Structure 1
């Protein structure tokens, strides 16, 4: 099978979607399927390269018809380049003999593949990962119509959690989604043995630490974690917190930590490569994520794969991953007191912490290995091709 993965993120970006795309490429290639990826580019011409890992990457700017900052100019540019863009995509599909176009994280500009689907023989599979579904209500009517057109032409719509499928269905009540499937993201188990401890936590960490991994945006709820950490300190549980990730909220979060008297116990490590991340997972006491909205966060699967207990919020796809009291502890979002209680409980009860970690690891090995996830995608691809 010849597969084209389409994503709005570069393969080198830090984040769950890029990790998912890279992992799927690797698994598909292992099974003899020729796989390439299309990412956003700066020019209107199609550019092809083979990266340092041997992956075929195509890059091109897919101009949307609507630009809020310059409506008329954007429309004129779209009309001028629409035919050329479509022709170049059609040539790519034809030259690479693409059987399946698999869109990971559909944004409005991907509608070009819906147009091509009307006149081509490839199958179109669209996958929702998180914010691509959460943010639909904030999009302009034109952007929603473009994505609706894409979904109407899709041969299958998948998502990493049922809650995301429900959000998409609610955003397009008149649209019957085709051949829906749930396929979670996974954890890169092959990278865990390579975590040899050479990437130590920040030197200032002088005791047990809790780990947060994620983009520093409001949706991830790190501000709630900081409030919970302050409450835990007030009750004598003086944990350190290591924050692996970066983002626009970092300055405000650093000020919050300093204002709460936590500057010596909160360590912002910035974005980290996977080997360093897995060293941090393996060295932490437990993992915490207080998201306000999520799909199925890859970081939870990674923490569970490393045998670490997880404290997380009961939102969207997280309860589909974590069974409260068995493979993790779940609390309501925006409730720092409840989060602090859960953190204190795991801090003080090593037996519970280890038992939850073992059960979570068993779940991860069963549900979140990328070879099994790739198998589920390939089953969907074969099903839609057989129609």
Structure 2
């Protein structure tokens, strides 16, 4: 309630100070993927809500530079870590002073009120050190990197395992896109509590089947061509599948497994049924989904699966892996068909069932379209803002005083 001041002017309403957020990501543009898209969308949403935002990303070949990327300041920072060899330790010790200087400079230049790590890796190690050095609140969002990484870095790196445990203990909030990821952090890294903040999708990219870049009848798979994504399982399932001869598999994306997949197609014989289309722009992907008989996500492990939301948005019937976080939001037989992709016969049967049943496809599409408005990037950003505000309201004894996440 406002009242008169001594000069007769109304008292100004108190305006809450907006947070200054450093989104510390394992990767960012020009690289593409689920984490990169998540951080990109969240950065823009937070900015539109009046927050000051910078993205601090691991330098993966750009060099230690600062760039404006679509209106967001992005700092690409070096993240050397020690390895087990004498030479590796020596290289780390030589690189560390410059790397640490650059991370300190980023903190002093931007003056964040919260450090928010996305996809814990070397970026998380440096974020944890900054949180301690500058007494800044730390938020950790895991995207399944401890279990769904092609290179199994957490199995190989004691430094990362130790740093993640310490970061979870220190963090003022810990989130993940699915309860599956939180459960893994609890069982293997000592997390207490934690909260689900699901992924989102850009609802403005509504696919149009008439604009699909592909002709004819096809099943579609989209993603980075890495082993965890299970595209080899899908290629093998297409060998001898009981579908009309004109139905083919189109794979959209690129990545390190592309040569392996092409060799597998040549060896297993379904070359006429498998097309590798490379990477497409997001609008073209939406159109391709709209024209597909089904979108299939055959991942060996999927923390969440933004592709599922994209399929719902574009009106594509979904066949989704049951390994990981999908059972937490995909309703089997209602808005998707859940299947174990390691069971080749079951994967074939799920694809054949969806492709061959027009009424089922229509029902899956209708249910998916009804669900997808629940998963907007605005909601994701708002959930993070709620946590930033709770941290600010409860922070009386420095970072970590309000521990809703891990102890």
1:218 aligns with 2:231: no
1:283 correspondence with 2:304? no
The within-5 A match list for 1:265-304 is 265-304=273-312
Match of 1:228 in 2: 237
For 1:140-175, what per-residue CA distance to the aligned partner results, in whole angstroms no more than 9, with x for missing partners? 323311222322222211111111112122222xx3
The Cα offsets for residues 329-375 of structure 1, whole Å up to 9 and x where unpaired, read as: 11123112111111111112111101111101211112x11111111
Q: Distance in 1 between matches of 2:324 and 2:112?
A: 34
Q: Could you tell me how far apart the structure 1 residues matched to 2:222 and 2:169 are?
A: 35
Q: Does 1:374 align with 2:391?
A: no
Q: TM-score scaled by structure 1?
A: 0.89
Q: Which has the larger radius of gyration?
A: 2
Q: CA deviation at 1:236?
A: 4.2
- Give the drift of 1:12: 2.5
Stretches of structure 1 lacking an aligned partner (at least 5 in a row): none
Aligned equivalent of 1:10, options 3, 6, 28: 28
1:344 matches 2:352: yes
Structure with the bigger RCO (C-alpha within 8 Å, sep 6+) is: 2
1:323 positional shift: 0.6
Q: CA deviation at 1:136?
A: 6.3
Question: Is 1:160 equivalent to 2:177 in the alignment?
Answer: yes
Q: Describe the superposition over 1:201-258 as per-residue Cα deviations: whole angstroms up to 9, x where unpaired.
A: 2xxx4x211110012222212222123223324x546521110012222222223223
Equivalent position to 1:208, from 211, 217, 226:
217
User: What is the Cα-based RMSD across aligned positions, in Å?
Assistant: 2.3
Partner of 2:158: 141
Alignment of 1:1-387 (within 5 A): 1-41=19-59, 47-51=65-69, 53-64=70-81, 66-68=82-84, 71-134=85-148, 135=152, 138-172=155-189, 175-177=190-192, 180-192=194-206, 198=211, 200-201=213-214, 205=215, 207-233=216-242, 236=244, 238-366=246-374, 368-387=375-394
The alpha-carbon deviation at position 119 of structure 1 amounts to: 3.4
Tell me how far 1:122 sits from its aligned partner.
Answer: 2.6
CA change 1:148–1:213 in 2 (3 A) is same
- 2:195, 2:160 → 1: CA distance? 24
Q: Match of 1:386, SS?
A: helix
Contact 2:79 2:122 in 1 (8 A): no
